[in-house]
Structure 1
Amino acid sequence: MQNVAPAVARARAFFDSGATRPLAWRLEQLRSLRRMVAERHTEFAEALDSDLGKHATESLLTEIGFVTAEAAHLEKNLEAWLRPRPVAVPLAVQPAKAWTELTPLGVVLVIGPWNYPLQLLLAPLAGALAAGNTVVLKPSEHAPATSAALARWIPEYLAGAAEVVQGGIPETTALLAMRFDHIFFTGGEATAKVVLRAAAENLTPVTLELGGKSPAYVDSSTDLAKAAKRLAWGRFMNAGQTCVAPDYILATEDVLVPLERELVKAIGAMFGTDSSLSESYGRIVNDRHFARIAALADGSTVVHGGERNAASRHFAPTLLRPAPGDTVMGEEIFGPLLPLVPVSGRDEAIGIINDGAKPLALYVFSNDADTRRAFAERTSSGALCFDVPAAHLSVPGLPFGGVGGSGMGAYHGEHSLRTFSHERSTLAKPFRPDTLELIYPPYNKTKHRIISTLAGAGAGLRQRLMQRLRKN
């Protein structure tokens, strides 16, 4: 087991030195992060291929390019976002000036997952550095090639700013026993509870980016061919191992039948008739997850796909028609299975969604204004997207995060800066005129009248009172 204490101590000492606070340092770290990803993109792409079978183009789209864009967006806007924000001062406190400013938290722990092991570690890192913190990174042991690449290059490009701790559960447990100023975790619900319990010991604030079952609703008013292609892309990208992938589709039976045909066409167009031969289709991360996905498929009704190879961990894009009680509908799938669930209409669909945990994302494919409004007003989810899955992550101005069981807190762009900062209140009040003299004890009728005026009397009376005070 790696001794994690030295890495945390170095991060703490560097933050305490004050070096991370200037804007120039923060911008330099964001530039260095972009430079690392650009100069080492080949090594990172090879690592992602080794860990997950990701095609280089998919890695560029969802990992390398994503981090580059996030860091560039922060770099472009950081100076403006860090400007102090003036706050109006009530008459009772005038004359005075008040403002808020974003200040660094300290040392941040970022625990990353295996499904997007570069993006979901480095995007939070970018936000934490922009906020003026130092960071301890814990990449997933289930993506060992990416973890090793990060451990190799982070010290070269971000020396002092970030530390990398490799390892598994023992190292993560040791890190969680230490004091941090913020913990950012992406992963599953069971581990999130462990993180929360550990954070409670030090009263450490936590951001949890989790998952859950993100539903899609499709009705007859939409273009089923285009909807099917987008749904297939969102579901089977990264072999279905995406937290915001559509987890199941709700539609009336008269929509599901043609939609199923269009989904089969879309799958073939993207990955061919034999996805095991497609370089664009990924692999399941390890044998344990492969076995879990196989059990979910075998416990339901496969209507398309289902082919698999345990040796290569290839599992074909698979469409299911689940029966009530099938296990696949009781847990997040996190794999290339897409259940098609018949409903009587939007009201039943909304009821099914609301009966479960609040999803990380909800996708509605409908051109009907009333249907869109119904889902917007009667459901709760981390995000709501019309006619497209997953793409909201690529909009840097949108906060990304869950609600309820799908997570707490959000990040991306300015939301990252705020997540990793403390918004400190500041008030400056001059000694002259010293208006506090009017409220100091001992109290009398005159002071009572003044306080009553300041607390609730008309604006004209308050204005005359302030003019009198200024003359004094």
Structure 2
Amino acid sequence: MEKEEIDLIFKAQCEFFATGKTIDIGYRLEILKKLRSLIILYEQEIVDALWKDFHKPEFEVIVTESRFVIKELNYTIRKLKTWSGSRRVRTPIVHFLAHSYVVPQPYGQVLVLSPWNFPFQLAFMPLIGALAAGNCVILKVSQQVPYISAVMSKILNHFPNELIALIDGDHSVSDYLLDQKFNYIFFTGSVRIGKYVMQKAAENIIPVSLELGGKNPCVVAADARLDFAAKRIAWGKLINCGQTCVSPDYVLIDRKVKDKFLELISKEIKLFYGDNPEKSKNFARVISSGNVSRLSELMKSGQIVTGGKTDPVTKYVAPTVIKDVKPDDPIMEEEIF
């Protein structure tokens, strides 16, 4: 999208918010209910698009993307009047003749910068919150998921640009958006980019929410139910092909049960995806060939117990378990996905 188009959308949203229409709770509820109906209407297209983008299985799409968002909409619609109402609070003694209330008010224009790993959920969840609070929203989506971005655009085209606008484009578009004087910024992504977003926001004193990744350990004690732990850790790590910021990243385990746990988790992977996960319809793909190469390099740390196969052409990375990793190995110095 050209800068001139962004300028027009930003100006239109500023003018629309100034009309006060989004303050009306009835209007907000109307928007949210319409959004819910559209997601239900386009759900199969959402499923198909995410399969095309990175082979995401239908069950995962429904559970972690479309129905996840619908559930959030149901809850928000049910609670919005309560959340938006005034709340009486204590009055300072110097104002003893008065009564004090907290009255929620929208920020104004909100920028949502969404990632590629859960592209529908992590775009629409902050969008719902922003709209429910009475804001106008510009949603910047990732270039790495063109098919689901097209479906999201189709859904949001049912709303006026002065209320909701979806923008795609490369990093220069994101940079240009961050130069604008939004009233709030919501970013989901890496720590490295999160620091940059916060720096840009600080230049204009813009409040910002950062939803970032990191290294997530799991601890398995000697008295743990190992079969239970293996199943949960395997599922938590391998859903979405491991591309989840809250997924288990590494396991700290009592030496006494290490070998048994490795045997059990390898068994669970086989139960999930069969002898050849590459042929399983239930296992997604890595987002890009570049990420496949990066993961292949990380696999040189420690000793592979199971998996290890990669294919940059099909963007396949096998479910892989690695043991005897050292704290200073490359795989321990960055978030895996």
| CA distance in structure 2 between the partners assigned to 1:254 and 1:33 by the alignment | 53
Give the equivalent residue in structure 1 for 2:330: 327
Correspondence for 2:79 among 77, 80, 102: 77
Q: Deviations over 1:356-379 (max 9, x none)?
A: xxxxxxxxxxxxxxxxxxxxxxxx
Give the equivalent residue in structure 2 for 1:187: 189
Give the equivalent residue in structure 2 for 1:149: 151
Please state whether the residue corresponding to 1:86 is helix, strand or coil: strand
The structure with the largest alpha-carbon Rg is: 1
- Deviation at 1:251? 0.9
Q: Give TM-score, length-normalised by structure 1.
A: 0.69
Please state whether the residue corresponding to 1:20 is helix, strand or coil: helix
Report matched runs for 1:35-114 at 5 Å.
35-114=37-116
Please state whether the residue corresponding to 1:243 is helix, strand or coil: coil
- Deviation at 1:93? 2.1
| CA distance in structure 1 between the partners assigned to 2:65 and 2:9 by the alignment | 26
Contact (CA 8 Å) 1:11, 1:163: kept in 2 or not?
no
Please state whether the residue corresponding to 2:331 is helix, strand or coil: helix
Please state whether the residue corresponding to 1:32 is helix, strand or coil: helix
Q: Deviations over 1:186-223 (max 9, x none)?
A: 00111112211211121101100001001100112221
- Deviation at 1:51? 1.2
| CA distance in structure 1 between the partners assigned to 2:251 and 2:57 by the alignment | 27
Is 2:237 aligned against 1:235? yes
Pair 90,171 (structure 1): closer, same or farther in 2 beyond 3 Å: closer
Report matched runs for 1:54-453 at 5 Å.
54-157=56-159, 160-321=162-323, 322-334=325-337
Q: Deviations over 1:260-308 (max 9, x none)?
A: 1110111011111110011000000011111111110123321111112
Pair 97,324 (structure 1): closer, same or farther in 2 beyond 3 Å: closer
Pair 111,76 (structure 1): closer, same or farther in 2 beyond 3 Å: same
Is 2:12 aligned against 1:7? no
Contact (CA 8 Å) 1:218, 1:250: kept in 2 or not?
yes
Greater relative contact order structure (CA < 8 Å, 6+ sep): 1
Partner amino acid for 2:300?
D
Please state whether the residue corresponding to 2:105 is helix, strand or coil: strand
Q: Deviations over 1:286-336 (max 9, x none)?
A: 1111111111012332111111222111111000111342100111001xx
Pair 173,91 (structure 1): closer, same or farther in 2 beyond 3 Å: closer
Partner amino acid for 1:326?
D
Partner amino acid for 1:193?
K
CA-atom RMSD in angstroms: 1.3
Give the number of aligned pairs: 334
| CA distance in structure 2 between the partners assigned to 1:92 and 1:149 by the alignment | 56
Q: Percent identity?
A: 36
Contact (CA 8 Å) 1:33, 1:158: kept in 2 or not?
no
Q: Deviations over 1:61-101 (max 9, x none)?
A: 00001110111111101111122111122443222111101
* Structure 1 gap ranges (5+): 335-472
| CA distance in structure 2 between the partners assigned to 1:288 and 1:91 by the alignment | 62
- Deviation at 1:43? 1.2
Partner amino acid for 2:36?
R
Contact (CA 8 Å) 2:9, 2:162: kept in 1 or not?
no
| CA distance in structure 2 between the partners assigned to 1:257 and 1:43 by the alignment | 44
Q: Give TM-score, length-normalised by structure 2.
A: 0.96
Please state whether the residue corresponding to 2:305 is helix, strand or coil: strand
Please state whether the residue corresponding to 2:314 is helix, strand or coil: coil
Contact (CA 8 Å) 2:292, 2:310: kept in 1 or not?
no
Contact (CA 8 Å) 1:2, 1:166: kept in 2 or not?
no
Contact (CA 8 Å) 1:32, 1:158: kept in 2 or not?
no
| CA distance in structure 2 between the partners assigned to 1:22 and 1:266 by the alignment | 51
| CA distance in structure 2 between the partners assigned to 1:175 and 1:287 by the alignment | 28
Instruction: Flag as ranges the 4+ runs of structure 1 deviating above 4 A.
Output: none
- Deviation at 1:18? 1.0
